Amino acid sequence: MFYVYIIYSKEFDVYYKGFSENVAQRLIYHNENRSKYTSNKGPWVLVYSKAFETKKEALVEELRLKKLNRTSIEILIQNFKDNISVV
């Protein structure tokens, strides 16, 4: 599976959109300051993720997410949270 994700830094009030095959490992990578853009802007928390069957689908979605404005990102995240079921 391939994933797009959005992480958030409360301290800097900024979102980062990305692509990965392993979101949990990628989040660790961001929080260890091993990514140029996210370095020293954490801590980062995962606020959104979506799985895709193909790498191409995920990359197309990542590009779409990167074009969204902040309001659209926040609506997307809220809808994502509203659809999570607690078991």
Contact indicator for 42, 30 with CB cutoff of 8 Å: yes
- Helix residue spans in the chain (DSSP H): 23-31, 55-67, 70-82
Give the domain extent around 16.
Answer: 2-82
Contact indicator for 16, 65 with CB cutoff of 8 Å: no
Please give the pLDDT value at position 81. 84
Please give the pLDDT value at position 7. 97
Please give the pLDDT value at position 71. 97
Whole-model pTM?
A: 0.90
Q: Is residue 87 part of a domain?
A: no
Q: What's the CATH code of the domain at 19?
A: 3.40.1440.10
CB atoms under 10 Å from CB of 29, counted, come to 16
